[in-house]
A and B are shown apart, each in its own frame.
Chain A
Amino acid sequence: MPDNTTLGEKLAQQGISRRSFLKFCATMASLMAMPPTMAAEMAEKLAKVRRQSVIWLSFQECTGCTESITRSHSPTIESLMFNAISLDYHHTLQAAAGTAAEAAREQAMKENEGKYLVVVDGSIPMKDGGIYSTIAGVSNHDMLVETAKGAAAIISVGTCASYGGIPKANPNPTGAVPVSAIIKDKPIINVPGCPPIGPVMTGVIAHFLTLGTIPDLDEFGRPKVFFGDTIHDRCYRRPFYDQGKFAKSFDDEGARNGWCLFEVGCKGPTTHNACATVKWNGGVSFPIESGHGCLGCSEPDFWDKGSFYKPLSTGEWGGGAVLGAAVAAGAVIGVGAALAARKRQDKTSGGK
């Protein structure tokens, strides 16, 4: 049976005060770069919203995305809100298993036709008929196509669902593809990251619940409010980059002084994400703050962009052997050209 309880009622049942709820809405509005007046409007709309049916499909993944959304803030209001949406199918979290679980998904699809949200984490293997990942004997591809048919929108959570992620990394043995390679007729919001930040995921869901629209997306389908800036631009170590102060290794004086990690491979300048502002573990820190460079995990094909520990300004130039061969070839051509010129010189001067 569809749950007709509104989100406001549900939160009240769970003992969440209006003050806490407004605080959450103000935080969310701020995170999504909305004007402050939107917080009250968001609270009003969110409170009236019926519990949104969400079907969470986990495909070729590591469960890190689920870990991120469920563990990192528990038991904060974000996770309670996640309880307050109707998570009708999530094979890691739901109590039901086997045919009962599949029945729950089918029932949610039937009762919320055209209205439910599909959240996908994990890529979809296409090679050999998609046999590399199946659920209840159904390939990921077939389950995605079937479930997406009646969805209002799809949120691709994590880099695997957004861009193929690690399963798609060279040589991509399972023929992994992202959601957007299969579903073409539904709005898709990509929330990449390996894993993505918990509040970013809840923020995107809150945006959909309150405004009924998908947020402005960048060229890679990511919400601009969270992925508009690069890590480098918002990094607290940026002043050290500008001063030319760099850590040369992970245990030198520069590293101890908290200098810029560009030289040890930080991919912050080309990585769009909210890590430097929203941070992780309830705002405690983010990878660079913990002393490691950004891996660029929210960018497409980040796994195949060369070493994580090579500076961004170096390239994949093929090594000394290739250039050595080029010098040798150039030398042969140069000697040949000089010999030909000498012959012409001899001809002109009569050999003198």
Chain B
Amino acid sequence: MTLLDFARGPALQWSLVVLVLGVAWRLLGILLLKRKPDYSEPRSHTSPAMGAVRTVFTRMWPRKEFQARTAYGSALGYVFHFGLAIVVFLFVPHILFIRDLTGLSWGGLPSGVIYATGVVTLIALIAALIRRFTHPVLRLLSNFDDYFSWIVTTAPVVSGLMAVAHLGARYETLLALHILSVELLFVWFPFGKLMHAILFAVSRGTTGALLTRKGAAT
């Protein structure tokens, strides 16, 4: 069995098993937690559910008061999040992978656009890491999870770009490394901070519902 066969076969199967098992475990483990009953009078006419949904979206944009201070970090975050979304969901071979898994399919972009987006995404990811290293507060707040999550996010971008450019090794080896790096991401996803891709909605929604009930701005 070649490295590529391993990556496309057993490694893919087991990483997907860990991914879905872990996500189900984390999600149910959080959603089924007991909530404190709130006996106070609601101070708003807006329903907490509406507040929850609204907060999920309103918090995607930095508040005016902090915009000047957070603009650079926010811009980097936007660039690499959108970049990753474009590369992952609009590159035809990736769409075919998703179609094989879920049956869902949509149109893709030309490869050149994807490669350029990949390069921009990589630059933004590196800039985000430098910022994390150099920002005194952010550096203090960062732990292993932050750095490892950065590595498993960046590795597929780097290996993907290397594969399309045939850089450093044979294409099959680079493709295998690219797939293996994605599988490492699958395995780490439920157990590290990458789970924010799902939990951001849960945490923002909870905050939004609580603050709405209290009549506070969300």
Contacts and interface: CB of A to CB of B under 8 A. Distances in A.
Contact of A318 (B13, B23, B29): B13
A315 B24 contact: no
- Residue from B25, B31, B179 having most chain A Cβ neighbours under 10 A: B25
B217 interface: no
A89 B190 CA distance: 64
Nearest to B18: A326
Interface string A336-352: 01110110011001001
- Residue from B7, B18, B96, B112 having most chain A Cβ neighbours under 10 A: B96
Contacts of B5: 301, 305
A241 B111 contact: yes
A192 to B, nearest CB: 14
Interface stretch (A34-42, A60-68, A208-216, A242-250): A242-250
A270 B172 contact: yes
A316 B97 CA distance: 11
Interface in B50-101: 92-94, 96-97, 99-101
Contact of A338 (B7, B21, B33): B33
A255 B28 CA distance: 46
A316 B93 CA distance: 15
B32 interface: yes
Contacts of A310: 100
A259 B37 CA distance: 61
A92 B12 CA distance: 45
Interface in B99-132: 99-101, 108-112
A270 B25 contact: no
A342 B33 contact: yes
A318 B18 CA distance: 13
B96 A311 contact: yes
A314 interface: yes
A313 B97 contact: yes
Nearest to A246: B92
Interface string A317-342: 11000110011111101110111011
B198 interface: no
A323 B2 contact: no
A230 interface: yes
A346 to B, nearest CB: 7
Contact of B108 (A244, A305, A306): A244
A9 interface: no
A316 B29 contact: no
A330 B111 contact: no
Interface string A269-312: 11000000000000000000000000000001100011000111
9 contacts: A314-B99, A315-B7, A317-B16, A330-B20, A334-B28, A339-B32, A342-B33, A342-B34, A349-B36
